[in-house]
Amino acid sequence: MTVKTGFLSRLTKWARLHSPWVLHFNTGACNGCDIEILDALTPRYDIERFGIKLKATPRHADILLCSGPVNNQSAKRLRRIYEQMPSPKFVLAIGTCACSGGVFRGCYNIHAGVDTEIPVDAYIAGCPVKPEAIIDAVAKLIAKLEAA
């Protein structure tokens, strides 16, 4: 990412750091990680208090949360969604399956991880990941943005 110093770019960076909007896409997961992502939004974890908001459309999202080993059918959709997101964009691979394919590695129809299709910025291991881990990952990603 190129560093700009103009007022507008500083403003967008500030906004992005304080309120990153996330998009969730199930790339063939068992639903375990997907439910934990939703869990992170509900009162116990309440990720929204950090300004993190789940958006339903890729065109509004900064961070793409992918769960599940990518299969042949969802791979095309995944690429399309990634292309629709505005730059700069970040991808989190959520769960062991999204990292490496997990237990499904080597099954037909499986691509073994999100990074076979699109670049991934952070990997969260776990089957399923705990909501705390998702919050931790997003926080680390923000710290990375801040440093950039």
Partner 1 sequence: MTEDTALALFEKDFQKFNGTLKRWNARQVELTVDAKHLLDVMNVAITDEVHYKFLSTIVGVDLGDKLAVKYLLAHKSEMLVVTVQVPYDGPELPSITVVLPAALLYEREIHDLLGIVFTGHPNLARLVLPDDWKDGVFPLRKNCVMEKDDAGKPTGACLINQA
Partner 2 sequence: MSLVNISVGPQHPALKEPINFTFTLDGENIVSADARIGYAHRGIEKGMERGNYVQGMFLTERICGICSHAHSMAYVLGVEKLMQLEVPKRAQYIRALLGELERLHSHLLWIGVAAHEVGFDTIFMYSWKDREVVMDLLEELSGNRVNYAVNIFGGVKRDYTKEQLDNVRAKVLSLKSRMKYYIDMATHEPSFIARFRDVGMLSHNKAIELGAVGPTARGSGVPVDHRVTDTFLIYDELKVNMIVEEGCDAMARYDVHARELLEAVKIIEQILDQIPEGPISVKYPRKVGPGESITRYEAPRGEDVHYLMADGSDKPFRYKVRAPTLANIPAVLEMFKNSHMADIPVIIASIDPCISCTDRAVLLADVYTGKPAMSWKELVAYSNRYYAENHGIKG
Q: Which residues bind partner 1 (CB under 8 A)?
A: 71-73, 105-112
Please identify which residue in 9, 31, 59, 83 interacts with partner 2, judged by CB under 8 A: 31
Contact 122, 134 (CB under 8 A): no
**Options 1-9, 10-18, 125-133: segment touching partner 2 (CB under 8 A):** 125-133
Q: Which of 23, 17, 39, 34 is nearest to 132 (CA)?
A: 39
Residue window 58-97: x/- pattern of binding to partner 2, with contact defined by CB under 8 A: x---------xx-x-xx--x---x--------------x-
* Min separation Cβ 122 and partner 2, Å: 5
Q: How many CB atoms lie within 10 A of CB 34?
A: 19
User: Element (H or E) spanning 99, and its range?
Assistant: helix 96-100
Residue 130 token pair: 């705990």
Q: How many CB atoms lie within 10 A of CB 140?
A: 14
Residue 89 interaction partner, one of partner 1, partner 2, none, beta carbon < 5-8 Å per kind:
none
Contact 70, 113 (CB under 8 A): yes
The C-alpha atoms of residue 123 and residue 138 are separated, in whole angstroms, by: 11
Residue 102 interaction partner, one of partner 2, partner 1, none, beta carbon < 5-8 Å per kind:
partner 2
Contact residues for partner 2 (CB under 8 A)? 25-36, 38-39, 42-44, 56-58, 68-69, 71, 73-74, 77, 81, 96, 100, 102-104, 106-110, 115, 120-130, 132-134, 136-137, 140-141, 143-144, 147
